Structures are given as structure tokens and as C-alpha cells.
Amino acid sequence: MPVSTPDTQLDALCINTIRTLVMDAVQRADSGHPGAAMAMAPVAYTLFERFLHFAPADPSWPNRDRFVLSNGHGSMLSYSLLHLSGYDLPIEELQNFRQMHSKTPGHPEYGYTPGVETTTGPLGQGLSNAVGMALAEKILAAQFNKPKHQVVDHYTYTFLGDGCLMEGISHETCSLAGTLGLGKLIAFYDDNGISIDGEVDGWFTDDTPGRFLAYGWQVITEVNGHSPSEVKAAIEAARHETGKPTLICCKTIIGKGAPNKQGSESCHGAPLGGDEVAATRVALGWDHAPFEIPADIYAAWNAREQGAAREQAWEQSMTAYAEAYPDAARELRRRLAGDLPADFSEQAAAYIARCQEEGESIASRKASQNSLNAYGPLLPELLGGSADLAGSNLTLWSGSHGVSADDASGNYIYYGVREFGMAAIMNGIALHGGFINYGATFLIFMEYARNAVRMAALMKQQSIFVFTHDSIGLGEDGPTHQPVEQLTALRSTPNMQTWRPCDAVESAVAWKSAIERRDGPSSLVFSRQGLPHQQRAGQQVADIARGAYVLRDCAGTPDAILIATGSEVHLATAAAEQLASAGRQVRVVSMPCAEIFELQDATYREAVLPSDVLARVAVEALHADYWHKYVGLDGRVVGMTSFGESAPAGDLMRHFGFTVDNVVAVVEEVLL
């Protein structure tokens, strides 16, 4: 690719190739956002041509630079860049922009398109994912790089617009990025003054450079985003600053090149229209048919040979690293591949067995910490954190060491009061690779993090969300802090596995399951209050991993089945004992993870919940409605249908009907 005089005729042709691909694809789809993509084409061209290290033939090359389009509505910019650079994204896919099963969906979707690093669309989250990627690079480099062996060494670049900066998450994550000194994070602000509703002066007049300076960023202002030479100089200055992230403020004209619509909201979220497309071709001097690209332009853009050379050079550096530090090299390869230590499963199973033998009655949040102390020494890749609640979430374990700007070699991130930002950064860390990361807050504050939690599930990323203080049982903090409907939201999220364990044994199984899961996130929901240990035989312990199992059985066919989770399991077993003394045959099913139970074969599910037993009662101190899928029209739910109150936990449980006598009465009602 050309690296000589900037702003050459070839530069202009390459940039206009992007612009025409963008407008033609949006026009053919009759749907999309051409404006930002056309405006940022010179910035994107300069970044990809002169700076970005990537390997189109191997999009997952570990030491590649990451590029994140946070303003994901401009997706055709990414698709044009990837196609032209030589990724496996043929022109036919661009022609099928926004169509069913194409590799070019309306917003960039991780896993659909080679070279797309993360799903973007919810504004601000791509930027926050980029913070997570840059943080992962810094931590991994601190843990593995040695003198003369910089085997982890890459940048994270992100494009963002006014919308990303208006979203509150941008404050959360950019503030932390400055605090942690993420010097290899470079953000390009597309400052075009336009959003969907028009000129932003009516609702966005922030001093953005001042804001980022206050975060501890380097800020480069007033860059002409349509000048490759100015953009190049700005990137060089950004890369020269190693101790701070950099914001490059690019002044652009939205829809640049469209003579009648550029500079206005009319080109933000709609096709240009046939007449304007034709006029743009004339204005750009582009005399080629839609999706027709001259061979010399393809040749100038194609980066496959260059990428292969970069990848080969890195492999050579890894070979030298392995000769000097063989153990570290093997460990780095293992972690980048996402493989667990060979003996993890066996050691974790042994710990679970010990938990059953010891029979501790403790809060499940404490059981969670005990599990971390057991599993943490086995997993150098474990990277934890909490949103300013480490002492309450109990997410610090004996081997935890904080990550800081000056020492990034640790394994614990103090996220501060940034629940949403924490979850989005976690997703970026997961996407980067090399870690198994978890982050914690109170279950009620899942609401702040909700959209990023959803994105983890959408992208099938191994983010482990730890949620403590899991019900009205947290007591005196009152209804603002007492979760009611949050578990329903988590359980209704596709590809989320939500665990609510009833004791230390189930807590250990929950952690093992989350650590071993590679195809999506897990939510681990733990109690504030102490929980009694449950007696189990060996097969029952093994069946915990199947999501639900028979904890207490009866002779013959049950008269009724009690289903419970978490802190209410002991309530269900006590009620079953009382019912048994009255001659009732009652089975108790503990269901710590309904999603995993649903994955079991029909034979097992029928064995646990026989379909001919219609007298069923679910017990959970959270919202009742979810449980009707298991108790049916003939069953009942002892659950919450209102918000809580401020009172001691015991008083709350009695007030809302979470007592043995009430559960017994409800079962008797079902049996009438």
C-alpha cells in the first residue's frame, strides 16, 4: 500500500472507493446510515493504510491491532474496509447489506463478519469494549513481556460520534481508562455536529476536549478529518504518548461528497436517494458502476501479503521468546487459545466434594469467595473486579492483586461505582482473549449494567457476572436495594446461564460451570444472609451441574413437588418435612440453574419433574411470574408480586409469606 506523499490522487481514489461502496450498499438495501461512514472515510483509510497491524487471512491473530466502530450505525464503513483490505468478505456480501443471513448486518455483529471485533450499535458500548481490549492488552503485556521480548504489543483504535459521548457509559469507562493509563488506546471523535434529530447545538454543547483532559487523556483537537496528512500526524502524536489514552478530535462534514445532502441530518439515517447518488458520483469524479472497483484500487488496498508478513514476524518473536522463557511461552499460548489447565476439572470436582463433606452453613457470597480461593490458584488467567463493593460482594480472594496504571501485572480491577461501564469493559476483555474475567455488584444494580449484560449474551462471550444481596433477604436497605424482577430479566435473556445456589456446594458448582463455559456468559447470584448446608448423596452432588435435581425425595409418586432456589431451598425442605409428618409425599427439587436444566435430555427432565404430577409449588423470594412455566396452571408460586420494604430480613420473610407454615398451606391448597 502507498506510504509516500499524503493526499495523493491514489489517496483520493481509495477514499472515494469507500464512499461509493457505502452509498451504493445503503441505496440498494434502501436502509442504513451513509453519513458518518462517508465523512470518516479519510480517517479510516489513513488508519488502515499506514498504521493498523492486522492479518486479513487470519482475523484472530492474537497480536493484531483492534479496530472498533463504536458508532456502529456506520457499519458500511467497516464492511468496505474489510472487503478492500482482503478479508473473506466478497463484494456480494456488501451487495446484500442488511439482508437475511448476510455477513453484513445493519450494525456490526461479532461472529458474523471476519474482522469485526465486537458488536456495536448501542452507542457508547463499542468505545467501552475498546477500553476493555486496551486494558486486557496492558495487563497481558505486564504479565508476559520480558526484556527484549515484547510479544504482547498492539493498539486498540476506536471511532465514535456525538451519540457515544452523550451516553453516560462513555464517562464511566473513559474516566477509568485515563486513571489506568491506557496509552495504547486511541479514539477518533467524529465531530460533525449532527445527530438524527439535527444539529447537536441544541442538546450537546459539552467541552469535549476539556472533559477528556480532565479524565487524564491526551487530546488532539481541530484535526481536519478529510485530510489524510493531518490525520496521519495526529495518529503519530497519539502513538508517541505511551502513558495516556488519546482522543483525536476530527472535524468532519457528515455525508462528505454528497453535494446536496452533506452537512445535514438528511444523510444520517437514510439512503441518499437515486438522484443524490448520481450527483455524488459526478461530484467525486467516480465513473464506475455500483460495486465496481478498478483492479489498481483493489491492489492498493489489499493487505493480505503485508498481514501475513506481520504474523510471520510475530511467530518468529514467539519462537525466540519460547527459547528464552519456555514456561511463560506455553502459558501464554494456552491462555490465548482459551484452554483451561489440564487438571482444573479434576481439582474443582475434588473441591466440590470437600464442600459437601465439610457441610458449612454460610452465606453463598462467602461460599463464592471460598470457591475463588480454591479455584484462583489454579487459574492464572482469572481476572476479577467489583463496582466498589469488593468487601460486600466478597470478590477479593487471597491471591488478588490490584491493577494500576504503574503496575498492570495484577489480577483484580477496582472498577469504582461504574456498573454499566464495568460490564462493557468485561466484554472487551473477554473479546480480547487471554483471561477469564468476572465483575461484581449487587443484584439490584444489574439494572445499571443491563444492556452490557445483554451484549455479552448476544456475542456469546465468557463474562462472569457476580450478583450478591440477591433478594428481599438483604433487609434494612429497603426496596431500592432489594431485587425483585432482576432474575426474571436475566433468565429471559437468550444464552445467559443464571445460577442461584442454595449453599456452599451449589456455589462451588456454579463457579466451576461458569469457568468451564466457553460459549456465553454466566450470572452467579449469591445471598447476603447465611444459608444452611444441604445433605446430599454422591449422585445428587453430580446432578447439581445439570441445573436441577431431586434434593429430597419421597416414597413412590409424589403427591406434590416443591421447586426452590437459593435461600428458599431450606424453606422448601423444612416444609416438605412438615408435610411428610402429616402423611403427604412431597419431593423437593433444587433448581440452581434453569437454563442448564432445559438443556438436559427429556428423560432426565421427566425424572426430576414428572409430567403427571401437577401439584407443584415454586418458592423464591423474587418475582413470581417466571415460575409458572414449571408449576403450570394448576400450581402455585410463593414469590414476590410487589416491591419490598425496609425491615430486618426475618421480618420481611414473614411479612411476604416466606415461612414454613405458609408454604405448607399453599401446598395443601394445591392438593385440594
Hey, which residues are catalytic here? 419
**Residue 415: which of 391, 447, 385, 393 has the closest Cα?**
385
CA distance 452 to 125: 7
Cell of 656: 411476604
Mark 310-329 as b/e (b = at least 16 C-beta within 10 Å): bbeebeebbeebbeebeebb
CA distance 376 to 114: 34
CB-CB contact of 21 with 80 (8 Å): yes
CA 649 to chain centre: 33
CA distance 81 to 324: 38
Task: Give the strand pairing for 463-468 and 522-525.
Answer: parallel
Q: What are the helix (H) ranges across 180-227?
A: 208-215
**Residue 490: which of 446, 551, 549 has the closest Cα?**
446
User: What is the residue-wise DSSP string for 353-376?
Assistant: HHHHHH---EEHHHHHHHHHHHHG
Largest CA distance in the chain: 91
CB-CB contact of 148 with 116 (8 Å): no
Beta strands in 254-316 (DSSP E): none
CB-CB contact of 283 with 259 (8 Å): yes
* Cα–Cα distances in angstroms (integers) from residue 242 to residues 183, 504, 505, 602, in the given order: 4, 45, 46, 57
Q: Is 438 helix (H, G, I), strand (E, B) or coil?
A: strand
CA 474 to chain centre: 27
Q: Is 436 helix (H, G, I), strand (E, B) or coil?
A: strand
Residue 467, class by beta-carbon neighbours within 10 Å (0-12 exposed, 13-18 middle, 19+ buried)? buried
Order of strands across the sheet that contains 586-590: 549-552, 586-590, 560-564, 616-623, 636-640
* Cα–Cα distances in angstroms (integers) from residue 339 to residues 332, 343, 376, in the given order: 10, 11, 15
398 torsion bin: left (phi>0), alpha (psi -120 to 50), beta (else): alpha
371 torsion bin: left (phi>0), alpha (psi -120 to 50), beta (else): alpha
Give the chain's length: 672
Beta strands in 22-174 (DSSP E): 66-69, 156-161
Type of residue at 492: S
CA distance 560 to 567: 20
* Cα–Cα distances in angstroms (integers) from residue 534 to residues 58, 108, 373, 395, 645, in the given order: 50, 47, 22, 24, 29
A 10 A CB-CB count for 106 gives: 18
Q: What are the helix (H) ranges across 338-436?
A: 344-358, 364-375, 390-393, 419-432
**Residue 485: which of 620, 601, 395 has the closest Cα?**
620
CB-CB contact of 48 with 81 (8 Å): yes
**Residue 187: which of 208, 207, 206 has the closest Cα?**
208
Return the C-alpha torsion angle 310, 315, 321, 326, nearest 10.
160
Cell of 212: 477528556
